[in-house]
């Protein structure tokens, strides 16, 4: 979602009440801020259950399009139940805010992990990739494209399990072979077919997973430049380099995902079967956070 000035918003109450289910939450620690949302720890007072509350001011949902996007995000997200997808516990509103009660991911996202660690070891990348692929196989099986898979949307819980979140740009494929023509927003790891407006589908998620895997292994994104315009030019030319030191099975997998022609990219199921995912050290993995 795009950046907005939220300074003149009404304050978020310290006690949040869901009048439908008669549930009371106590607001705790501030977790972070997105384009539209502010996120706080919320504790359910009767059960002591702890959640992440994504709270959006209604003053930011001024036009019909933004309201529809918000309800589309909730509609898609509430239909999902998988160990690698952030669980949506409930959602409700009051006169000032919309509240989305989510599974708490206390170890933040893979973005912070990347900033701290830069390049990860191969077994670590395999560990994270396995979970990302399982989550996306589930989504694609339900005809849902995430369309903004990026490190900042891959949340981590206390056990360092990956939870895919933020369905703000997600879309449902309505019929076999449908190509989506529009996308309201700017995905981080944007696929070339979105930039050239050729129509897009599931393959955009595979492209983004390629960018994610590259960033995790190499320590920086594949098409990084100083300006968005140059980055987009590099993406449309599919101009990236792989370090010669990279594991051959990883390089093969990256080259398959980062292809300009979406029809040549593997499906997420095919990615799960690739050599890099199947071989190498996994059991004796030491996760450095
Ligand atoms: P937006 O859709 O407005 O961009 P995000 O979904 O990115 O909002 O959420 C904003 C911030 O809140 C995130 O960057 C993260 O720090 C925090 N956050 C979001 N979801 C969770 C969660 N389930 N657990 C913990 N923190 C979260």
The 10s digit of each residue's pLDDT in 91-117 is: 999 999 999 999 999 999 999 999 999
Strands (E), 94-193: 97-103, 144-145, 154-156, 162-164, 171-172
pLDDT at 279: 87
pLDDT at 281: 66
Distant-in-sequence, close-in-space partners of 96: CB < 8 Å, separation ≥ 6: 10, 57, 58, 59
Q: Can you tell me the mean pLDDT for 9-16?
A: 91
Ligand 1 atom nearest to 39, measured from its CA: 12
pLDDT at 49: 97
Residue 282, pLDDT above cutoff 90 = no
| Residue of the CA atom closest to atom 7 of ligand 1 | 34
Residue of 9, 18, 148, 205 with catalytic role = 148
33 C-alpha to ligand 1 centroid (Å): 6
pLDDT at 287: 82
More confident residue, 10 or 32: 32
| Residue of the CA atom closest to atom 25 of ligand 1 | 105
Residue 256 vs residues 197, 203, 229, 250: alpha-carbon distances, Å: 21, 11, 25, 10
- Specify the length of the chain in residues: 289
Give the span between the Cα atoms of 36 and 206, in whole angstroms: 27
pLDDT at 3: 44
Residues in contact with ligand 1 by the CB-under-6-Å rule are 1, 31-37, 39, 52, 54, 86, 102-105, 108, 155, 165-166, 168
Whole-model pTM: value is: 0.94
Answer yes or no: 158 catalytic. Answer: no
Residue 1, pLDDT above cutoff 60 = no
Residue 7, pLDDT above cutoff 60 = no
Give the span between the Cα atoms of 215 and 207, in whole angstroms: 12
pLDDT at 239: 97
Our CA angle for 22, 25, 27, nearest 5°, is: 155
* Residue 283 pLDDT class (50, 70, 90 cuts): low
Average pLDDT value for the chain: 94
Q: Binding-site residues for ATP, please?
A: 54
């Amino acid at each position: 979602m795009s950046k907005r000035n939220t300074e003149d918003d009404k304050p978020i109450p310290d006690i949040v009440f869901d009048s439908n289910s008669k549930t009371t939450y106590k607001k705790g620690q501030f977790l972070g801020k997105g384009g539209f949302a502010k996120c706080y720890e919320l504790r359910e007072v009767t059960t002591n259950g702890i959640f992440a509350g994504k709270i959006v001011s209604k003053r930011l949902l001024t036009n019909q399009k933004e309201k529809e996007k918000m309800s589309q995000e909730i509609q898609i997200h509430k239909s999902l139940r998988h160990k690698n997808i952030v669980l949506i516990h409930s959602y409700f509103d009051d006169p000032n805010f919309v509240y989305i009660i989510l599974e708490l991911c206390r170890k933040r996202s893979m973005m912070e992990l990347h900033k701290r660690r830069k390049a990860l070891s191969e077994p670590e990348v395999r560990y994270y990739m396995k979970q990302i692929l399982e989550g996306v196989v589930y989504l694609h099986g339900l005809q849902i494209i995430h369309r903004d898979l990026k490190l900042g949307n891959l949340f981590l819980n206390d056990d360092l399990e990956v939870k895919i979140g933020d369905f703000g740009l997600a879309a449902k494929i309505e019929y076999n072979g449908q190509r989506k023509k529009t996308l309201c927003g700017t995905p981080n790891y944007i696929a070339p077919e979105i930039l050239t407006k050729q129509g897009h589908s599931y393959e955009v998620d595979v492209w983004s997973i390629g960018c994610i895997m590259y960033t995790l292994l190499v320590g920086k994104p594949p098409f990084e430049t100083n300006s968005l315009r140059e980055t987009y030019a590099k993406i449309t030319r599919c101009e990236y380099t792989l370090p010669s030191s990279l594991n051959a099975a990883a390089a093969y997998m990256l080259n398959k995902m980062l292809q300009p022609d979406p029809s040549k990219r593997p499906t997420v199921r095919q990615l799960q079967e690739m050599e890099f995912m199947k071989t190498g050290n996994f059991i004796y993995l030491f996760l450095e956070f």
